[in-house]
């Protein structure tokens, strides 16, 4: 790969970077080949991490030390995710740290500078090029303006929820999931031995299932490391047994192995709207379900998930609908 074929964000990160013998690449896997043989890298999404060899992987949220002063990173769209990540880097990097963080201008805001200024004294932006821009963070503050510890903790329906900054709705309960959990008793009635929370996020669905069904096996899957770790932390905080899988969709689960799939599926990948991965994982539910097993799904009313479930899994019935969300129950044909 050369600069002529780079994504504009990646190209600008490389062009704006100071010289360094080693670079730590975060969330921009396309930059790894350009970062040098001594580079380390990480991506929260297991689909992106597959391109990064085991020996190069370093997770900033679990690393204990780091001697790499230069970081190339993609800017998270979530300010909470940015705050947690920069806090981790502030603790790991020395006084010579220089972070080059790039993103599409339409997904950037001045609030990102404000978050970075909690941790670094020198925060400035590059000129925009081809709808991309880079922010530079350097000179770690002696006394950062910490606004709270990560992961965050919250209580939902008497259960403790713990979550990283990059997880959807952090440690809260979003309105769609709340509508789905209104049907927890009906969902539980479909479960004999095994149930999976597909796209587990902060683990709020998994925790409710495990609490309601202490004798069942609850699986939780997500492509995001932060989501899977948040679900693990949530389960531990409530002394519940949840088996977590950091994987693409249902790929870790064997054919005909579960009674119920429960999901509040995404329709974005990062900042880009992308229905294809969700459609694929909903279709794969037919593979992992036992005959007569069910999919319980909640989604925004404008999304076509019901027709897709009906076509790829089986008969689908609307169980609830309000002004924004729909809950459906699909029986594997």
Of the CA atoms within 13 Å of residue 208, those in its CB half-sphere come to 22
Domain boundary among 120, 140, 160: 140
DSSP state of 52: S
**Total count of domains within the chain:** 2
The DSSP element (H or E) to which 15 belongs, if any, is helix 8-16
Whether the Cβ atoms of residue 226 and residue 256 lie closer than 8 Å to each other: no
- pLDDT tens per residue across span 28-72: 988 988 888 889 999 999 999 988 889 899 999 999 988 788 999
If we measure between CA atoms, which residue out of 41, 59, 71, 58 comes closest to residue 135? 71
Residues 129 and 174 in one domain: no
Average pLDDT, the chain: 93
CA atoms of 8 and 77, how far apart (whole Å): 17
Q: Is residue 59 part of a domain?
A: yes
Residues 162 and 23 in one domain: no
Length of the chain: 333
- pLDDT tens per residue across span 62-103: 999 887 889 999 999 999 999 999 999 999 998 999 999 999
Residues 163 and 302 in one domain: yes
Pick from 127-131, 158-162, 248-252, 294-298: least confident:
127-131
Whether the Cβ atoms of residue 86 and residue 119 lie closer than 8 Å to each other: yes
Q: Percentage of the chain with pLDDT > 90? A: 80
Residues 32 and 130 in one domain: yes
CA atoms of 58 and 81, how far apart (whole Å): 17
Of the CA atoms within 13 Å of residue 188, those in its CB half-sphere come to 17
Range of the domain at 52: 3-140
The DSSP element (H or E) to which 329 belongs, if any, is strand 325-331
Strands 98-104 and 132-140: antiparallel
Residues 132 and 159 in one domain: no
- pLDDT tens per residue across span 278-318: 889 899 999 999 999 999 999 999 998 999 999 999 999 99
CA atoms of 254 and 245, how far apart (whole Å): 13
The model carries a pTM of 0.93
Q: Percentage of the chain with pLDDT > 70? A: 96
Domain boundary among 88, 111, 140: 140
pLDDT at 76: 94
pLDDT at 229: 98
Q: Is residue 299 part of a domain?
A: yes
The DSSP element (H or E) to which 219 belongs, if any, is strand 217-222
């Amino acid at each position: 790969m050369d600069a002529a074929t780079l994504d504009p964000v990646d190209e600008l990160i490389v062009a704006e970077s100071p010289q360094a013998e080693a670079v730590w690449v975060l969330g921009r896997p396309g930059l790894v080949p350009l970062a040098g043989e001594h580079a380390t890298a990480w991506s929260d999404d297991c689909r992106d991490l597959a391109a990064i060899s085991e020996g190069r992987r370093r997770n900033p949220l679990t690393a204990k030390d780091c001697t790499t002063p230069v970081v190339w990173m993609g800017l998270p769209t979530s300010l909470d995710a940015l705050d947690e990540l920069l806090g981790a880097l502030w603790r790991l990097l020395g006084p010579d740290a220089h972070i080059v963080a790039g993103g599409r201008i339409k997904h950037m805001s001045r609030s990102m500078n404000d978050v970075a200024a909690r941790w670094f004294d020198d925060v400035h932006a590059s000129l925009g090029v081809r709808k991309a821009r880079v922010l530079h963070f350097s000179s770690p503050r002696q006394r950062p303006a910490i606004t709270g510890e990560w992961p965050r903790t919250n209580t939902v329906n008497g259960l403790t929820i713990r979550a990283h900054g990059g997880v959807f709705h952090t440690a809260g309960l979003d309105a769609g999931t709340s509508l789905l959990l209104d049907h927890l008793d009906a969902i539980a009635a479909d479960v004999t031995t095994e149930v999976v929370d597909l796209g587990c996020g902060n683990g709020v669905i998994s925790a409710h299932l495990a609490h309601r069904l202490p004798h069942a096996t609850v699986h939780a899957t997500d492509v995001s490391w932060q989501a899977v770790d948040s679900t693990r932390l949530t389960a531990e905080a409530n002394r519940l047994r949840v088996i977590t899988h950091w994987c693409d969709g249902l790929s870790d689960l064997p054919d005909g192995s579960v009674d119920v799939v429960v999901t509040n599926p995404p329709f974005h990948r990062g900042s880009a709207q992308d229905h294809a991965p969700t459609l694929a994982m909903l279709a794969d539910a037919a593979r992992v379900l036992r005959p007569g097993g069910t999919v319980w799904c909640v989604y925004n009313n404008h999304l076509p998930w019901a027709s897709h479930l009906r076509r790829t899994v089986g008969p689908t019935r609307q169980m609830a609908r309000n002004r924004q969300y729909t809950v459906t129950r699909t029986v594997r044909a």
